[in-house]
């Protein structure tokens, strides 16, 4: 059965602090490691009081230092916010400390609003050089070349695995052209999922980094013992997306009994479209959705996000999903 990984935005639940959120992230990373999840990624967002992973490389180091086996990385670093040399030094240092366990996913969005982007000392046109910046990072992680005047220390020769992240065809085309693994953000932008996967696979150029296409897709999963319980837990994510549409920032809200009284019809339609790929329900419901999603997309890996207010319920959701995967893996193969 398909490998599972974790995408954690280090959400700050109402009633908690960013420090609590980061400690919850470590507890979940250890839990995911015990359950056999392949990767644990955190994402770069700025000026958002409900997300604690802004200093992404620091958080990756904290999580890698508190775990033993699971791969830890960024999903992703928003490259227009940073000089490639600085990113290479940061993730080269992480790779030197935790060899063979560090991933670096790269996105070209700012991960914030225009005003905050300017506070990061980056300009909107920085996204235009994203392909060149990716190539620069590849060179910095590659072997030292004759006459090379600038190198990342640590970083040079460490060949930290790079991923291209995307929510449109641009990332799919770039990942295919560069021969890199590709992660599609269908956990919040599912509309272009199937066209992006088709573009990536049809145009993929093998490389030493990735000899064949490897497509990972993001998916929201909220699993609980019953459908009703899972749907109630899911209202935290539905409120979160409603806040996004309203242009408001806030902490992750506790679940509510009826989401219908919270959002307008227009907000419901738009948020539901963004969450259209979510798997929400009991083990039986999520298992059916998981099988259908993998069959439809042919994904090589799933990156699972779960915006659940209660950390214990969030860990329980990931436990249920791991048990589902184990059960599916043990099914006898169908005979044609």
The per-residue pLDDT for range 61-72, each reduced to its tens digit, is 999 999 999 999
Residues 6+ apart with CB under 8 A from 11: 21, 50, 51, 52, 240, 252, 307
Residue range 277-303: average pLDDT? Answer: 98
Count of other CB atoms within 10 angstroms of residue 58: 14
pLDDT on residue 330: 80
Residue % of the chain over a pLDDT of 70 = 97
- How far apart CA 33 and CA 40 sit, in angstroms, is 9
pLDDT on residue 117: 79
Residue range 159-175: average pLDDT? Answer: 97
Average pLDDT of every residue of the chain: 95
pLDDT on residue 332: 58
Contact 26, 52 (CB under 8 A): no
**Which pTM value belongs to this model?**
0.95
- How far apart CA 280 and CA 194 sit, in angstroms, is 21
What domains can be seen in the chain, in order of their start residue?
A: 1-160 (3.20.20.30), 218-302+310-331 (no CATH)
Which range, 116-120, 246-250, 251-255, 332-336, has the best average confidence (pLDDT)? Answer: 251-255
pLDDT on residue 334: 46
Question: Does residue 33 carry a pLDDT above 60?
Answer: yes
Residue range 191-216: average pLDDT? Answer: 97
Contact 187, 305 (CB under 8 A): yes
Burial class (CB in 10 A: 0-12, 13-18, 19+), 292: exposed
Question: Does residue 124 carry a pLDDT above 80?
Answer: no
Place of tokens 């953000």: 185
Helix or strand (DSSP H, E) at 19 = helix 18-35
């Amino acid at each position: 059965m398909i490998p599972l990984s974790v995408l954690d935005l280090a959400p700050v639940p109402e009633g908690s602090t960013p420090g609590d959120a980061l400690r919850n992230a470590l507890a979940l990373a250890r839990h995911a490691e015990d359950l056999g999840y392949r990767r644990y990624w955190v994402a770069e967002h700025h000026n958002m009081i409900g997300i604690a992973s802004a200093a992404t490389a620091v958080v990756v180091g904290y999580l890698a230092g508190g775990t033993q086996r699971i791969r830890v990385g960024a999903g992703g670093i928003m490259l227009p916010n940073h000089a490639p040399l600085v990113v290479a030094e940061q993730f080269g240092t992480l790779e030197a400390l935790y060899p063979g366990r560090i991933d670096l996913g790269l996105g070209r969005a700012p991960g914030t609003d225009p005003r905050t982007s300017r506070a990061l000392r980056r300009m909107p046109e920085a996204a235009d050089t994203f392909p060149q910046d990716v190539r620069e990072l590849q060179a910095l992680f590659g072997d030292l070349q004759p006459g090379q005047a600038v190198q990342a220390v640590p970083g040079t020769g460490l060949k930290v695995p790079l991923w291209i992240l995307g929510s449109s065809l641009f990332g799919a085309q770039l990942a295919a052209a560069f021969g890199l693994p590709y992660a599609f953000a269908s956990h919040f932008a599912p509309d272009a999922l199937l066209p992006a996967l088709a573009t990536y696979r049809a145009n993929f150029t093998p490389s030493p980094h990735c000899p064949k296409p490897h497509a990972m897709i993001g998916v929201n999963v909220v699993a609980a013992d019953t459908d009703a319980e899972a749907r109630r837990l899911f209202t935290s994510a539905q409120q979160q997306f409603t806040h996004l549409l309203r242009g408001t920032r806030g902490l992750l809200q506790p679940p509510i009994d009826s989401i219908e009284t919270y959002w307008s019809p227009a907000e419901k339609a738009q948020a539901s479209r963004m969450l259209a790929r979510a798997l929400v329900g009991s083990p039986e419901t999520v298992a059916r959705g998981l099988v259908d999603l993998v069959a439809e997309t042919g994904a090589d890996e799933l990156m699972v996000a779960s915006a659940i207010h209660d950390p214990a319920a969030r860990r329980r959701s990931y436990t249920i999903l791991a048990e589902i995967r184990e059960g599916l893996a043990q099914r006898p193969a169908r005979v044609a």
